[in-house]
Amino acid sequence: MKVANLYVRVSTDEQAEKGYSQRNQEEVLRRYCELKYIIVNKVYYEDHSAKTFNRPVWKKLLVDFRKNKGQAKLLLFTKWDRFSRNTGDAYYMINLLRRFGVEPQAIEQPLDLDVPENKMMLAFYLASPEVENDRRSLNIFHGTRRAKKEGRWVSTAPVGYANKSYENGRKYIAPNEPQATIMKEAFQDIASGKYNVSQVYNLAKAKGITCKLNNFWNLIRNPMYCGKLLVQAYKDEEEHLVAALHEPLITEALFYRVQDMLDGKKKKMVSKVVSLDLLPLRGYLNCPKCTRKLSGSSSKGQSGLHYHYYHCSSSCGVRHKAEVVNSAFMDEMDTITPRAGYEDFYVKVIGKAYKMKAAGAQDESKEIMKQITALYAKVTNARDLVLSGDFEKGDYLAVKADCEKQIAVLESYLPEISDATRNIDQMLTKSFSNLSKAVFSYKNGDMEKKRSIVSSLYPARLVFDGIKHRTPRESDMVHNTLLINKALGTKKNWTSAELQHLSSMVVSAGIEPATQGFSVLCSTD
């Protein structure tokens, strides 16, 4: 009598399909063996896809055939798609089994493989499930691509979002707190240039996100956070962005600013945090002689007391007592404090200056629209050259893709420019309030708070000349507050002409008409 091993396979997605259960397959195989007087040696149960032979149970089956060569002459399964769904791999495995003296056979699709013509039928049995798999994969691919073009997110929600369903069962993603706020802050931190990506990741991780650093890199590169979905290139269709249906967490302008920072188009300002409480300005001071960054340290005197210094690491020999430097900076903080009782005056002067500058921003908006129009004309011209035979199609597609990318970036700046004067008085009132709080917090806060305030108020490093601090650039808010404080003096009554003149001085000193210009400069919470 012949001896056979039985192979029963079912993949996860086939569990519910009629006739594919392991129990049903085993029952059919055993009944066949009884009718044919075949002895069942062993039954192998597999729950793995048949796309390849890289299956755990199949590997064990081959090992058993090698060890017990000649023990079982048959390997029985119900149909050829239980054996394999890959034609090339199946022919190789059939030959391998025959070298072990084993004949594979599908009891519901029996074939005598010694008859050459039957190999054509075998090819049909093996190719049919492979074609079915390929068709299913292609349908899924096109369905996913179509959903993306319609603006639907089609996979697991990224950090900051959650998968949800409407009453009709249709899926969508929505912001999920507190992760959504953490991701917003992460984008803002990167755009500020004060931290590198690793530092921003560590801050976000401390706040509660759980992804790995590599995944975090992918997230901050993903335009879905600004309401755009990337549709990959396919055949003759170029890669492009489409408007998403989900609620964005950030603006397009912020997203592109972050990409510029990541691509190195904007200089990053990273401040090293130190633990010495008596050296709060370490890392924010430049040497007045060689312009290197000053370091800070303490030394023990003969009396046993420790003395703290800011010093240059080069041979220029610059060295300042920390007590003197810190005291001078405290005096500087007093000069930038808005005067009590003049809050409305500050808002009136800078608000007027802001609106004067914002009027110029409308010209900037027109210039952007002019650039966008020129880019569209460039695409049209390239298309005309293709039709006339003077331009290759590949070159046209490259020009079109480049122009569309530039247009998307330019269009992302238009909303900010158009909103230049919106809620300016409220923003200024809050900014001046926070500036006053920042000065108070610096005098009374801990080391981390002090360093955060310094970086917010003075984006470029300070230089101490032995008497006072100076800087090539402070924040607009600090600069204009100093200007107004100097002009105020003891003067209380201002004519409209004098107010107009002071506002024009603020404009020439520098003022940002974009939304960041008078947002809250530093948090004091």
DSSP SS3 for 80: helix
Number of separate domains in the chain: 2
DSSP SS3 for 107: coil
What mean pLDDT is predicted for residues 497-501?
58
> DSSP for 415-427?
HHHHTTTTTHHHH
Range of the domain at 168: 161-262
Whether 130 and 7 map to the same domain: the answer is yes
Q: 178-204 pLDDT, tens per residue?
A: 999 999 999 998 888 778 888 889 889
Is residue 29 scored above 90 in pLDDT?
A: yes
pLDDT of residue 32: 93
Q: 256-303 pLDDT, tens per residue?
A: 888 888 887 555 444 444 445 788 888 888 898 888 888 888 887 777
Using the 3D structure, point to which of 262, 277, 305 is the last residue of a domain.
262
Spatial separation of the C-alpha atoms in residues 479 and 517, rounded to whole Å: 12
pLDDT of residue 522: 40
pLDDT tier at 418 (50, 70, 90 boundaries)?
A: low
Using the 3D structure, point to which of 217, 238, 262 is the last residue of a domain.
262
What mean pLDDT is predicted for residues 329-356?
77
Q: Is residue 270 part of a domain?
A: no
- Average pLDDT over the chain, rounded to an integer: 80
Q: Is residue 102 part of a domain?
A: yes
Share of the chain above pLDDT 90, in %: 18
pLDDT of residue 315: 82
pLDDT tier at 478 (50, 70, 90 boundaries)?
A: confident
Spatial separation of the C-alpha atoms in residues 179 and 199, rounded to whole Å: 17
Q: Is residue 176 part of a domain?
A: yes
Is residue 157 scored above 70 in pLDDT?
A: yes
Q: 272 φ, ψ to 5°?
A: -80, 125
Q: Please give the structure tokens belonging to residue 114.
A: 């010694």
Q: Is residue 65 part of a domain?
A: yes
What mean pLDDT is predicted for residues 70-99?
88
Q: Map tokens 């001078």 to a residue.
A: 328
Q: Is residue 231 part of a domain?
A: yes
Q: What is the pTM of this model?
A: 0.43
What is the sign of the dihedral through the CA atoms of 304, 308, 309 and 314?
positive
Q: Please give the structure tokens belonging to residue 477.
A: 């808010």
Spatial separation of the C-alpha atoms in residues 61 and 55, rounded to whole Å: 10
Q: 211-258 pLDDT, tens per residue?
A: 999 999 999 999 999 999 988 888 777 788 888 999 999 998 889 888
Q: Please give the structure tokens belonging to residue 368.
A: 């952007």
More confident residue, 321 or 478: 321
Q: Is residue 34 part of a domain?
A: yes
Whether 61 and 105 map to the same domain: the answer is yes
Residue 50: which CATH number?
Answer: 3.40.50.1390
